Chain A
Amino acid sequence: MTIMKIFRLLILVFLVLQLQSAWSRTVEIDVHGMTCAFCVDGLERKFRQMKAVSKVQVSLKLKKVRLVTEENQPDLATLKQAVIDAGFTPTKISILSNEKN
């Protein structure tokens, strides 16, 4: 009985861990119109406020924004609109990778 209980408990823990494991993706957006660090602060803050975005990197040198997000959220249209709302022009969105955590 004790062994069975332990076995059931292990199966339960395994199932819970499976449910919690998630895919993440890395998205890169080419942005035109970015000027100085102060001017792009609003863009970075917009992405950081999105729950499904876990990491934001901006490159004024490469004119890109790189995001680590959940597998399917936010959708690409939402990401594109965030760039537009910040006052810049998104020119290309690429999904660099999809990984299971």
Chain B
Amino acid sequence: MGLRSFVALPLDKEGTVIRLFFEHALEADYDQLTTNVAYGISNNQTLFLSESYRFSGASGQRFGDVSMLYRHIIWQDDYLTGTNRLGLLGGIIIPTADEREMAIQTGFVFTHFSNRYEIDIDGLYQTGINSRPDSGRFDVSWQYRLFPAEYPDWGMSSELYAVIEYNGRWKEGNSLTHQLTTGLQWVQQSWVIEGGAVRTCSRSDINSII
């Protein structure tokens, strides 16, 4: 799974994953916590809920809009050393402020996993209702397992992954922003700690820490 990208890997039926995402934006000078909850409706259907809270910055403390996203895996090719999966994404954005409108989201996510590396590719378009501007995003994420080089015969071990991503973010009226994200993931069986840095490709300084 990527740092900022979506993933098409499975969530077990009736399983739940909670992901807390903290961002410290250096240039824009704000701190934001996003809570993401994923629920496995079935082995190939997952519901994602996301809500962010900005607790510092020029615009003050405020809740972001709620995102509801449904992922349906339409193609799955499992083999001994990994898997290929393609999922379709669809959902809505529910505003938490009266001055903001809703949006409809559609997109896709593809995951290729083999041996020690994983590639995730996603695209999501958000069509704004009424006065809300359209927006979109894409991510290409590559992860490589640094440790262990080889798994034990039986049982789970801790895992360390390096992550590098190419992210694109766009909002109607603005040009596409190209970003590079790099980071590490420390993976245990039931929890993950991850962190990284985001940089706009046209600049040398870091935009935010995640």
A→B interface (CB under 8 Å): 32-33, 35-46, 57-63, 66, 84-89
Contact = CB atoms under 8 A, between A and B. Distances in A.
B45 to A, nearest CB: 10
Interface in B1-46: 1, 9-13, 15, 40, 42-44
Given A37-B159, A58-B156, A60-B156, A87 B189 contact: no
A1 to B, nearest CB: 57
Interface in B98-147: 113, 118, 145
B151 A88 contact: no
Interface stretch (B57-65, B76-84, B173-181): B76-84
Contacts of B153: 59, 61-62
Contacts of B82: 33, 35
B12 A58 contact: no
B11 A33 contact: no
Nearest to B150: A61
Given A38-B190, A42-B11, A89 B78 contact: yes
B43 A85 contact: yes
A61 B152 contact: yes
A59 B82 CA distance: 14
Nearest to B14: A85
Given A39-B9, A60-B151, A61-B152, A87 B43 contact: yes
A32 B79 CA distance: 5
Contact of A41 (B118, B152, B190): B190
